[in-house]
Amino acid sequence: MLAYIGRRALLAVFTVWAISVLSFVIIQLPPGDYVSSYIAQMASMGSVVSDEEAQNLRIQYGLGQPIYVQYWKWMKQIAEGNFGFSMEWRRPVTEVIGERLWLTVVVAVAALLLTWVLALPIGIYSAVRQYSLGDYLATFIGFIGLAVPNFLLALVLLYLGFTLFDAHIGGLFSPELQDAPWSLARAWDLCKHLPIPALILGLAGTAQQIRIMRANLLDELRRPYVVTARSKGLSEPRVIVKYPVRMALNPFASTIGYTLPFIVSGSIIVSLVLGLPTVGPLLLRALISQDMFLAGTIVLLLGVMTVIGTLISDILLVWIDPRIRLEDT
């Protein structure tokens, strides 16, 4: 079991490294180096950067040195908690991102939880009552969920909410609590606003999970041990929940690794449509105005958090599935 977790952790470290390289590439891609853009930006606002300051910045970021040195210096600063300076906001990147990162996590986790809460019972129902009306309904909604890109779904819901109920369904907070400090009222307000974004983000994943759960459970229900359990006189719910559902759950859990990146990806663009205060709108703005340290940091942090989430799900999987625990190769 430890060997398994160790392997996953090692892969996670590699993934984080790959993400950091890709983020660095994104920072490097626009023409010109950071300091020249910084000077130009300052000049456009009417302030002048002294030669000395420019020189200091060049040394700090290792500009003019080989690319791997620059990467190394960037990484070293990140290790010290310094993510660079946002040109557009003229504040440190960490300050600009602030609580938006945590709100992104909250939205993603809510979507993931909702996926599970919906997919598990619906999947079980679909398998146990195969070809029933409910099964067809679940299949139909599933196909819609897979076929409609989530940002279009957000757009349609926003439109329906606006025209039918005259309500704005976007956002994560009521206007009066938008900038308020954290309090119980604000947390409750967040909870009230969460379901719609979570549903939009989670629908595609839910659809997929329902199909996986249904297929797995159908396979398991035909196994001889189910017949044995029935013939021993176990009650029907117990027969189903105790063994086949537990067996069918394994592939279900192992797909979180792919669901989470998908949800995080989707949250960026859905946040834009719904106007959620996550890092999504920030990233788009940073990319358009070529505020590269901010953009690179957001890509890096999103990636790292996805990897951590995936690692947690891997460990959960070991906990659920004794076969992996005992495999230990």
Partner 1 sequence: MAIATDAGSVPGAPIADAQRVFVASQWQLMWWRFRKHRLAVASGIVVAGFYLVVLGADFLAYSDPLASEAQRSLMPPQPIRWFHDGRLRPHVYGFKGARDPLTFKRVYQPDPGQKIPVRFFAQGFEYRFLGLIPTSRHLVGVDPGRDASVTLFLLGTDVQGRDLWSRLMYGTRISLTIGLLGVGLSLVLGVVLGGFSGFYGGAIDTVIQRVIEILRSIPTIPLWMGLAAALPRDWSILQVYFAITIIISLLGWTELARVIRGRFLALREEDFVVSARLVGCSQMRTIFVHMVPSFMSHIIAAATLALPAMIISETALSFLGLGLRPPAISWGVLLQQAQNVQTVAISPWLMIPAIPVIVAVMAFNFLGDGLRDAADPYGR
Give whichever of 60 and 265 is closer to partner 1, judged by the CB atom: 265
Q: How far is the CB of 268 from partner 1 (least distance, A)?
A: 5
Residue 130 gets which letter from DSSP? T
Return the bridge partners of 91, or none. 86
Q: Considering only residues 3, 147, 191, 241, which one is a binding residue for partner 1 as defined by CB under 8 A?
A: 147
Interactions with partner 1, residue window 219-248 (CB under 8 A):
none
Give whichever of 44 and 163 is closer to partner 1, judged by the CB atom: 163
Q: Specify the stretch interacting with partner 1 by CB under 8 A; choose among 50-58, 128-136, 212-220, 264-272.
A: 264-272
Q: Considering only residues 96, 118, 199, 264, which one is a binding residue for partner 1 as defined by CB under 8 A?
A: 264
Specify the DSSP element, H or E, that contains 92.
Answer: strand 91-92
Return the bridge partners of 192, or none. none
Q: Which of 166, 154, 140 is nearest to 198 (CA)?
A: 154
312 contributes a contact to partner 1 by CB under 8 A = no
Q: Considering only residues 15, 60, 77, 254, which one is a binding residue for partner 1 as defined by CB under 8 A?
A: 15
- Residue where the block lists tokens 């300091």: 35
310 contributes a contact to partner 1 by CB under 8 A = yes
196 contributes a contact to partner 1 by CB under 8 A = no
Cβ atoms 5, 311 nearer than 8 A: no
Q: Considering only residues 4, 71, 89, 151, which one is a binding residue for partner 1 as defined by CB under 8 A?
A: 151
148 contributes a contact to partner 1 by CB under 8 A = yes
Characterise 49 by phi-psi region: left (phi > 0), alpha (psi -120 to 50), beta (else): beta
Which pair of structure tokens corresponds to residue 242?
Answer: 């105790």
Determine how many CB atoms are found less than 10 A away from the CB of residue 229. 19
Q: Considering only residues 124, 299, 317, 318, which one is a binding residue for partner 1 as defined by CB under 8 A?
A: 299
171 contributes a contact to partner 1 by CB under 8 A = no
Q: Specify the stretch interacting with partner 1 by CB under 8 A; choose among 74-82, 115-123, 220-228, 265-273.
A: 265-273
Determine how many CB atoms are found less than 10 A away from the CB of residue 288. 10
Angle at the Cα of 127 from the Cα atoms of 150 and 234, rounded to 5 degrees: 140
- Residue where the block lists tokens 């009521």: 174
Cα-atom radius of gyration of the chain, to the nearest Å? Answer: 24
Which pair of structure tokens corresponds to residue 122?
Answer: 């619906």
Q: Considering only residues 1, 109, 287, 320, which one is a binding residue for partner 1 as defined by CB under 8 A?
A: 287
Q: Which of 234, 233, 224, 267 is nearest to 101 (CA)?
A: 267
Sequence letter at residue 183: S
Q: How far is the CB of 184 from partner 1 (least distance, A)?
A: 31
Give whichever of 53 and 94 is closer to partner 1, judged by the CB atom: 94
In whole angstroms, give the CA distance from residue 107 to residue 190. Answer: 10
31 contributes a contact to partner 1 by CB under 8 A = yes
Q: How far is the CB of 243 from partner 1 (least distance, A)?
A: 26
Interface positions with partner 1 (CB under 8 A): 11, 14-15, 18-19, 22-23, 26, 29-31, 143, 146-149, 151-152, 155-156, 158-159, 162-163, 168, 257-258, 261-262, 264-266, 268-269, 272-273, 283-284, 287-288, 290, 295-296, 298-299, 302-303, 306-307, 310
